[in-house]
Amino acid sequence: MRTFKPLPSQPAPKETVGAVNWIRENFFSSVGNSLATLAILMLLAIILPPAIDWLFLSANWQGVTQADCTKDGACWSFVKAWSKQFFYGSYPSDELWRINLCLLALVAVIIASNVLHKDWRNKIAIPLFLALPFISIVILDGRPIGLSFVSTDYWGGFSLNVLLAAAAIIIAFPLSFLWALGRRSDMPMIRSVCVILIEFFRGVPVLALFFMGSVMLPLFFPEGTNVDKLLRVWIVLTLFMSGYMAEVFRGGFQAVPKGQYEAADSLGLSFWQKTLLIILPQVIKISMPNILATFVMLFKNTTFLLIIGIFEMLSTTQTALTNSNWLGGHATEGYLFVALVFWICCFSMSMISSSIERKLDTSHKK
């Protein structure tokens, strides 16, 4: 009998590998492609030198007042001088550790829920995650734990954008999951209530929701109580986020194969056991990239809060621009800085989201 011997693998042909080849194939593969490449290179040659000059070479980095900005370029000392306000608003300087603690706790819980073993994650990280907004409020407010009281009027800056968005998405997680579940329910009453909620909060612009929140939310609280402005904003952002996330979850539900429900049923699991142990983990995994994308949108939308007088980062920047010590027209630097900070955050979240997507893609091939 003849024994089967596989042929040895050969290296790929020379003309298809290497850097020069890569450049030729990607930038100069045709006349049109070459022209486009040249046009873009020329545009860059026109724009880049003055931009680099203004941004870095003749920029002012040192100094604490308007008068120190003597060179032609950007006045980065403006950003430096206001950086505390940009990040922390008017929160008392001695108490900034409280904000840092909350931000740190947020990062810690997110990391923990990704690296911890499943049992620990379910028993500790997730409950802690859900409690985090309330713990943060207690720490920032101070009164319940005997720290000095800091009214929400002083909360502000970029940390407020981050904490508000995080607090909204954390509560939106369980809420939107229930809405999505309700939308799939056999019971017409529950289904229509959920459809109305989801479509309302998705369909109305977030700004309109903020104004409605100021007017309408107090009606739901006992008369005479003064509902804190930030609390109202938190509720509105949570509901807004829930509307979008419920739709993301709905897509996730549809992506879980029918066989998963049947296998859970045939093992005799109850409805809630099936939903929480089998379906929910798979739905969250499938939906994660879209949830992150939705969160990026929510996060950017927190800058709208300047319109209703909350001192998040953008409105803090505007305040700084009208300060009498810095009336030199530093709007470009200020807004560039705000844009840069948001861009870094949103871009890294997009990167995370697409890396999760790639991982899902390979693990779900089967």
Partner 1 sequence: MTSEHQQGIEKNDNIIVIEALNKWYGDFHVLKDINLKVKKGERIVICGPSGSGKSTMIRCINRLEEFQRGSLVVDGVEMIEDVKNIEAIRREVGMVFQHFNLFPHLTILENLTLGPIWVQKKPKKEAEATAMKYLERVQIPDQAFKFPGQLSGGQQQRVAIARSLCMSPEIMLFDEPTSALDPEMIKEVLDVMIELAEEGMTMLCVTHEMGFAKKVADRVIFMDAGEIVEQDTPDEIFNNPQTDRLQLFLSQILDH
With contact defined as beta carbons under 8 Å apart, do 278 and 184 qualify?
A: no
222 near partner 1, rule: CB under 8 A: no
Give the amino acid at 176: S
DSSP for 264-313, written as a single string: HHHTT--HHHIIIIIIHHHHHHHHHHHHHHHHHHHHHHGGGGGGGT--BH
**Cα–Cα dist 210/206, whole Å:** 6
Query: What is the per-residue DSSP string for 130-187?
Result: HHHHHHHHHHHH-GGGTSPP--GGG--BHHHHHHHHHHHHHHHHHHHHHHHHHHT-S-
Residue number, 5 or 258, with CB nearest to partner 1: 258
Q: Is 117 in the site for partner 1 (CB under 8 A)?
A: no
State yes or no: residue 366 binds partner 1 (CB under 8 A): yes
- Cβ 257 to partner 1, closest distance in Å? 8
The C-alpha atoms of residue 303 and residue 297 are separated, in whole angstroms, by: 11
Which residues, listed in sequence order, are joined to residue 157 by a DSSP beta bridge? 312
| Nearest-approach distance from CB 193 to partner 1, in angstroms | 24
| Cα angle: 82, vertex 86, 90; to 5 degrees | 90
Instruction: Give yes or no for residue 263 binding partner 1 (CB under 8 A).
Output: yes
Q: Is 266 in the site for partner 1 (CB under 8 A)?
A: yes
Does residue 265 interact with partner 1 by CB under 8 A?
Answer: yes
> How many whole angstroms separate alpha carbon 309 and alpha carbon 166?
20
Q: Which stretch binds partner 1 (CB under 8 A): 181-189, 232-240, 245-253, 255-263?
A: 255-263
Decide: is 100 part of the binding site for partner 1 (CB under 8 A). Answer: no
What does the block give as tokens for 118? Answer: 């499943």
264 vs 292, which CB is nearer to partner 1? 264
Report whether 112 contacts 121 (CB < 8 A): yes
Choice between 286 and 313, CB closer to partner 1: 286
Taking CB under 8 A as the criterion, the residue among 282, 303, 319, 350 binding partner 1 is 282
Shortest separation between residue 343's beta carbon and partner 1, angstroms: 34
Contacts of 83 (CB under 8 A, 6+ apart): none
With CB under 8 A, what is the number of residues at the site for partner 1?
20
Residue with tokens 């407010």: 141
Mask 167-206, x = binds partner 1 (CB under 8 A)? Answer: ----------------------------------------
Q: Is 104 in the site for partner 1 (CB under 8 A)?
A: no
Q: Which is nearer to partner 1, 29 or 273 (CB)?
A: 273
Per CB under 8 A, 363 contacts partner 1: yes
Only one of the segments 95-103, 197-205, 207-215, 277-285 lies at the binding site for partner 1 (rule: CB under 8 A); that segment is 277-285
The residue within the footprint of partner 1, chosen from 152, 285, 293, 308 (CB under 8 A), is 285
List residues near partner 1 by CB under 8 A.
257, 259-260, 262-270, 273, 277-278, 281-282, 285, 363, 366
